[in-house]
Chain A
Amino acid sequence: MKQLFILLLILGTCAKVGAQDLPRRVFLGIRMQNLTDDMRNIMGIGGTKGVLIDEVIANSTASIAGFKRGDILVSVNGTVVNATGEVVAAIAPYKPGDKFNYELLRNKKKVNGKAVFTAVPEEKYADLDMIYTDVKSVAGQQRVIISKPKNKTKMPVLVFIGGIGCYSLDNSLDTTRSESQLLNMLSRQGYMCVRPEKPGVGDNAKSCKACGEVSFSEELDGYVQTIKKIKLRPDVDSSSVFVIGHSMGGVFAPLIAQKTRLKGTISYGTIGSNFIEHLLKTRRTIGEAYGWAPDETDAFIKDFCECVGYYFVEKMTSTEAAGKKPDCGEYLSVFDFRSRAYNDELYGFNIPALWKPFEGKALFMWGESDFVSSKEDHEILTGSVNFYHPGNATFISIPAADHGMQVAATFKDARENPGSYNTKVGKEMLNWLQNHL
C-alpha cells in the first residue's frame, strides 16, 4: 500500500547548529492520497477540493497541529490544494519555524487553524553513525549524507551517485528503498557510504540551482567536490575510494575519476554506448515490458529515431519537434526534466572514451529484469575497459533484479509489480569489493 501514498517532507531550517551549515527541510508529516470520485461519493462531500490525509506521522508539523487521519487538507496559506503535488508546491517556500494557516475538512465541517513547521528527522540506527554534512559546488550548497560503522578508522569509502531523475536520497521515513538498504548493508560491513544529494532536491531546494536547470558538468562538480572533501576526513582511507554509479551515475563515474583518483567503480544499470544508440536499444526492451507486439515496437522505434534526431542532432526543443511530428511531443517530454545543456553534454559523450583513462578496477552490473538499460551496454563497457586496461573490468548479471535493484522476475514484472530490494545486488558488490580493496 505504500505506493498509494506520497510522503510529504518539506524544506526549511534545522534547529541543530554547528555540525551542519545547510539547514534541514520542514516536515509536514502526512501521508496523503488524491481524492477520487468514489471517495468523494462515499464520504458524501460532493465536489470538495483537497487531499485526503491517510496518516499523520508522530512528532511532525501535522501531528503537533492536530491534523487527523481522514481529514481533508483543503488549503495552505490560502492556496487551495487538490493533488498531492500541489501540497508539495504550496509549502515548498517555507522553513522550520515558519508559521502557516491551513484549512481542513473534518467530518464535513471546516476547520481553520495556524501551525508552525518543524524539521524533517534524520536517519538513526543503533549500529551506525549518520552524519549530515554539506559541500559547496558550482551549483550551490549541497547536502551530503554519510553512514558509517561506529568507532572505525581508515575506512574505505563508497560514494553513491544516483540516476538521471531529480530525486532525493534523503529518505529517513522510508529506509526500505533499495539505495538505503544497499548502503546501510555496506556500512555494516565496514564501509563509509556517502550519498551526495543532487542539486535542487531534498535539503538543497533553496541552496542550489534547480535540478532541472543544471548542466551535466555542474552536477558532476557536486560529486567531485564531495569526494575531495571526504578524502580529507581523518577516518577514511583516501586511497580506497570507490564510486557506485546507479544508472546515469555510471556515466558520471569515469568523469569523476578524471578529476579525483578512484580506486574502483561499480556501475549498475548504466549506459555503455552513445546516448541515441542506448535509447534505441532500450526502447525495444521497453516494448517488451509493456507487452507490445514486435511490429508495434519497431514502428515506435522508427518514429522515436526521427524525434531524437530533431532533438539531439538538430537541437530542436520538444515542442518544436512536435511541430514536425506530433508524437515527438510525448516521446521527448522525458528530456525536458533536465536542462538542454545537460542533455547536449550527455549526447556529446563517447562513452567508451570516457573510460579510456580510468586505470582502476571496474565492476559492471546489470539486473536481468532491467528493461531501462541493456545488457549489451554493460558488455560494451566491460570490453572497453579491458581493451584499454586488460583484466580491470568484470561483468555480472543479477537474476530477477530490475533497474531499481528490486526483485522482479521479468521485464513485465519490473514494470508492473516490482518487489522489495534484491539483496543479491549488494552481496555481489560486497564480494567484488572484498577482492579489490
Chain B
Amino acid sequence: MQNRLFGYLLFPLLVLFLSARKPANDFKSFVIEFVSLYNQAGFPEIDYDYHGYFETIPKMETLNEHEAFFQKTKENLGKYNRSKLNTEDQTIYDHIEYETDFSLERIALEKEWVSDGRNIPENGLHSLKNHKAWYKFFIKRYTSTGRTPEEIFDMGKAEVFKVKREIKKIQDASGYKDSLAFYTYLKSDKFQHTDKNKIIKEFEKIDSTVRANMNGFFGKLQLPKVYPMEWPNANAFTPPGMYLNHSGNAFGKDVFQFNFYGQKYNARAMEWLYMHEAIPGHHLQSVFRQVKPGTVQSIFLYPGNFEGWACHMEYFGKDFGLYNDAYSYLGKWEWDLVRSARLVIDAGIHYYGWTKAEALKYWKETIPGQDEIAEREVTRVTNWCAQALSYKVGSGFIDDMKIEWMNRNPKKKQRDFYLAYLKSGNIPLLVMYKRLIGEQESK
C-alpha cells in the first residue's frame, strides 16, 4: 500500500520526466526506461473481485496522468521502426504496444465510469451503463485474446455438449445405464483417498510415468523434481490444487499442493491435476519461463497464457501414459465440465444479464451431482468476472494457433509448436499469435 501511495504521489513527476525527455536512442534503452517508469508508477494490482477492482480506480486527475503516460509511451514507441528490430525485440515492441493500447482502452472506460458517478454494480457487470464494452475489457484482461462475449457463450455451450458426450461414453462403457446410479457410484468411498501418504506416493508414481513419456512428446528435456504436498489450511472452497515454483514459496522447492480438506481427496482428480499443476502443465512451463527482473515480461501476468497452457496440456494425458483407467479419464472431463459451464454462466451473468436464479438453473441442469457447489460457483463467477475464462479460452486459443501454425509449417512437428510457445514466455496470447504466426509469415 505504501508503495502504491508512493507511486501515485510520484506519478505526475514521472509523466513530466517522460514528456520532457527525448525518447531513448536505442530500443533497448527505451524498454528499460518503460519498465522502470511503469514499476515506479505503482499501478493497482489485479483484484479478482470486480467490486475490488472498481474500488481501486483512482480519481479523474490521476486517470488523466495515467492516460498521458501511456499516450506518451505509444508516441515514443512509434518512433522505432518495428521492421528493423530483431525477432525478440519485435515481440517486445508488440508486447508494449499491446499493453499501451489495452491500458488506454481501460482508462477510457474508467474515466467514463468516474464521470458517471462511480457506481459499482452489485450482481455483475450487466447493470453498468456501458456493460458490453466493460465485459469485453474483462475478457481481454484475463484471456489476452480478442474473443467476443458471443464467442465465449457459444464456446461454453459447445464445450458443455462435447464434454457431456465424453462423460456419457464413459458411463455407457461402465455398464451403468441409469445416470442416477452412475453418479451415486461416483460418490462412493471407492473414489475417496483418505491416506495422505498414499496420495503422495500415487502422485510420485504418476510423475514417473509422465517423465518416462515426456521425451516422446517434447523431445529430450531435463526437469527439476516437483514435490506433491498437502495444501496447508485448505477448506472446502480451496481449489483442487496449486503450483508454486521454488521462488513462490518459503521452502525453496518446486511444489504442487493438493486440497486434502476433510482428510479426503478425489481419486479421479489425481492424473489431470498432476498434468495441470506439474508436468506438462505449470511446472514444465515455469522451467521455460525464467523471467528476468527488469524486463517487460516481469511486470505483467497473463492467465490466458499460463492457465490456458496447463488446461490445454490436460487433454494429452494419454500421450503421457495416463488416463488408461476410465475413471481417471472421467475425472478430467468432470472438471472440464465445470470449466465449460463457467464460460456460459460468466457471459450469461455479465453480458446477457442473467439473474442468479437463471445461473443456478443452468448449473443444475448442466452439471449432474454437484448441486452443493452451485451457489459457490455462481457467486465466484459473479464476483470474479471473466477470471474463469482464462482456462478454456486460453486452451482453445492455443489449440487454434497450433492448427494454423501446423498448416503453415507442414514439415514441422507438434512438439516444435509447443516448444516455440514455451520459449516465448509470459506474453499476451494475441502477441504470441503475432510472434508465432506472424513470424512464419515473414519467413
Within 8 Å of chain B (Cβ to Cβ): is A288? no
**Which of A69, A407, A413, A420 contacts B250 (CB under 8 A)?**
A69
Task: Specify which chain A residues have a CB less than 8 angstroms from the CB of B2 in the assembled complex.
Answer: 124
- B375-A42 in contact (CB<8A): no
**Which of B229, B236, B375 contacts A39 (CB under 8 A)?**
B229
- A43-B252 in contact (CB<8A): yes
In chain A, positions 103-124 with a C-beta closer than 8 Å to chain B are 124
Task: Specify which chain A residues have a CB less than 8 angstroms from the CB of B233 in the assembled complex.
Answer: 3-4
**Which of A33, A400, A419 contacts B49 (CB under 8 A)?**
A419
- B383-A407 in contact (CB<8A): yes
Interface membership of chain B positions 231-266, coded 1 if the CB is closer than 8 angstroms to chain A and 0 otherwise: 011011100000000000111110100000000000
- A417-B237 in contact (CB<8A): yes
Within 8 Å of chain A (Cβ to Cβ): is B299? no
- B55-A423 in contact (CB<8A): yes
- A423-B120 in contact (CB<8A): yes
Within 8 Å of chain B (Cβ to Cβ): is A70? yes
A70 to B251, CA, bound (A): 5
- A70-B229 in contact (CB<8A): no
Within 8 Å of chain B (Cβ to Cβ): is A410? yes
- B229-A42 in contact (CB<8A): yes
- A33-B376 in contact (CB<8A): no
- A420-B122 in contact (CB<8A): no
In chain B, positions 1-35 with a C-beta closer than 8 Å to chain A are 1-2, 5, 8-9
Within 8 Å of chain A (Cβ to Cβ): is B230? yes
A sample of 24 inter-chain contacts (CB < 8 A) reads A3-B233, A4-B233, A33-B232, A38-B200, A39-B229, A42-B227, A52-B250, A53-B250, A69-B250, A70-B250, A70-B252, A124-B5, A125-B5, A407-B49, A409-B376, A412-B375, A416-B236, A417-B236, A419-B379, A420-B49, A420-B51, A420-B52, A423-B55, A424-B122
Within 8 Å of chain B (Cβ to Cβ): is A434? no
A273 to B236, CA, bound (A): 33
- A54-B250 in contact (CB<8A): yes
Task: Specify which chain B residues have a CB less than 8 angstroms from the CB of A55 in the assembled complex.
Answer: 250
Task: Specify which chain B residues have a CB less than 8 angstroms from the CB of A34 in the assembled complex.
Answer: 232
A410 to B229, CA, bound (A): 30
Closest to B260 in A: A38
Task: Specify which chain A residues have a CB less than 8 angstroms from the CB of B253 in the assembled complex.
Answer: 42-43
Interface membership of chain A positions 124-141, coded 1 if the CB is closer than 8 angstroms to chain B and 0 otherwise: 111000000000000000
A131 to B235, CA, bound (A): 38
A52 to B1, CA, bound (A): 24
Task: Specify which chain A residues have a CB less than 8 angstroms from the CB of B1 in the assembled complex.
Answer: 175
Task: Specify which chain B residues have a CB less than 8 angstroms from the CB of A42 in the assembled complex.
Answer: 227, 229, 251, 253, 255
- Nearest CB in chain B: distance from A58 CB, A: 9
In chain A, positions 54-72 with a C-beta closer than 8 Å to chain B are 54-55, 69-70
* A3, A53, A54, A407 — most chain B CB neighbours (10 Å): A407
Within 8 Å of chain B (Cβ to Cβ): is A151? no
Closest to B255 in A: A42
- B375-A43 in contact (CB<8A): no
Task: Specify which chain B residues have a CB less than 8 angstroms from the CB of A3 in the assembled complex.
Answer: 233
11 additional contacts (CB under 8 A) given A39-B251, A419-B383 = A3-B233, A4-B233, A36-B229, A52-B250, A125-B5, A175-B1, A407-B49, A407-B383, A409-B375, A416-B235, A417-B237
Seen from chain B, the residues whose Cβ lies within 8 Å of a Cβ on chain A are: 1-2, 5, 8-9, 49, 51-52, 55, 120, 122, 200, 227, 229-230, 232-233, 235-237, 249-253, 255, 375-376, 378-379, 383
Task: Specify which chain B residues have a CB less than 8 angstroms from the CB of A36 in the assembled complex.
Answer: 229-230, 232
- B250-A38 in contact (CB<8A): no
Closest to A53 in B: B250
Task: Specify which chain A residues have a CB less than 8 angstroms from the CB of B250 in the assembled complex.
Answer: 33, 52-55, 69-70
- A413-B52 in contact (CB<8A): no
A175 to B5, CA, bound (A): 14
Task: Specify which chain A residues have a CB less than 8 angstroms from the CB of B236 in the assembled complex.
Answer: 416-417
| Interface residue tally on A, bucketed by range | 20 to 34
- Nearest CB in chain B: distance from A170 CB, A: 16
- Nearest CB in chain B: distance from A327 CB, A: 22
* A53, A55, A410, A417 — most chain B CB neighbours (10 Å): A417
- B379-A409 in contact (CB<8A): yes
A52 to B249, CA, bound (A): 10
A34 to B227, CA, bound (A): 18
Closest to B261 in A: A416
- Nearest CB in chain A: distance from B207 CB, A: 14
* CB within 8 Å for A413 and B379 given contacts A38-B229, A39-B229, A423-B55: yes
In chain A, positions 1-43 with a C-beta closer than 8 Å to chain B are 3-4, 33-34, 36, 38-39, 42-43
Give the 5 A-B CB pairs with smallest separation, nearest first: A417-B237, A38-B229, A409-B379, A54-B250, A42-B227
Task: Specify which chain B residues have a CB less than 8 angstroms from the CB of A407 in the assembled complex.
Answer: 49, 51, 379, 383
- Nearest CB in chain A: distance from B138 CB, A: 18
Task: Specify which chain B residues have a CB less than 8 angstroms from the CB of A124 in the assembled complex.
Answer: 2, 5
Task: Specify which chain B residues have a CB less than 8 angstroms from the CB of A38 in the assembled complex.
Answer: 200, 229-230
A369 to B260, CA, bound (A): 26
- Nearest CB in chain A: distance from B261 CB, A: 9
Task: Specify which chain B residues have a CB less than 8 angstroms from the CB of A420 in the assembled complex.
Answer: 49, 51-52
A409 to B372, CA, bound (A): 13
- Nearest CB in chain A: distance from B417 CB, A: 34
A43 to B55, CA, bound (A): 40
Task: Specify which chain B residues have a CB less than 8 angstroms from the CB of A70 in the assembled complex.
Answer: 250-252
In chain A, positions 372-430 with a C-beta closer than 8 Å to chain B are 400, 407, 409-410, 412-413, 416-417, 419-420, 423-424
* A38, A54, A420 — most chain B CB neighbours (10 Å): A38
* CB within 8 Å for A416 and B237 given contacts A43-B252, A70-B250, A409-B376: yes
A410 to B371, CA, bound (A): 14
**Which of B55, B230, B375 contacts A410 (CB under 8 A)?**
B375
Closest to A418 in B: B237
- Nearest CB in chain B: distance from A2 CB, A: 11
Closest to A172 in B: B1
A429 to B200, CA, bound (A): 50
- Nearest CB in chain B: distance from A24 CB, A: 17
Task: Specify which chain A residues have a CB less than 8 angstroms from the CB of B255 in the assembled complex.
Answer: 42
Task: Specify which chain A residues have a CB less than 8 angstroms from the CB of B379 in the assembled complex.
Answer: 400, 407, 409, 413, 419
- Nearest CB in chain B: distance from A30 CB, A: 10
Closest to A126 in B: B5
Task: Specify which chain A residues have a CB less than 8 angstroms from the CB of B237 in the assembled complex.
Answer: 413, 416-417
- A423-B51 in contact (CB<8A): yes
- Nearest CB in chain A: distance from B173 CB, A: 33
A119 to B255, CA, bound (A): 36
A42 to B51, CA, bound (A): 38
Task: Specify which chain A residues have a CB less than 8 angstroms from the CB of B51 in the assembled complex.
Answer: 407, 420, 423
- Nearest CB in chain A: distance from B5 CB, A: 6
- Nearest CB in chain A: distance from B44 CB, A: 13
A424 to B253, CA, bound (A): 42
Task: Specify which chain A residues have a CB less than 8 angstroms from the CB of B249 in the assembled complex.
Answer: 54
**Which of B8, B200, B230, B376 contacts A413 (CB under 8 A)?**
B376
Task: Specify which chain B residues have a CB less than 8 angstroms from the CB of A125 in the assembled complex.
Answer: 5
* A4, A42, A69 — most chain B CB neighbours (10 Å): A42
A67 to B250, CA, bound (A): 12
Task: Specify which chain B residues have a CB less than 8 angstroms from the CB of A175 in the assembled complex.
Answer: 1
- A126-B9 in contact (CB<8A): yes
- Nearest CB in chain B: distance from A426 CB, A: 11
A404 to B130, CA, bound (A): 33
Task: Specify which chain B residues have a CB less than 8 angstroms from the CB of A413 in the assembled complex.
Answer: 237, 375-376, 379
- Nearest CB in chain A: distance from B63 CB, A: 16
Closest to B225 in A: A42
* B232, B236, B255 — most chain A CB neighbours (10 Å): B232
Closest to A43 in B: B251
Task: Specify which chain A residues have a CB less than 8 angstroms from the CB of B375 in the assembled complex.
Answer: 409-410, 412-413
A76 to B1, CA, bound (A): 30
- Nearest CB in chain B: distance from A63 CB, A: 14
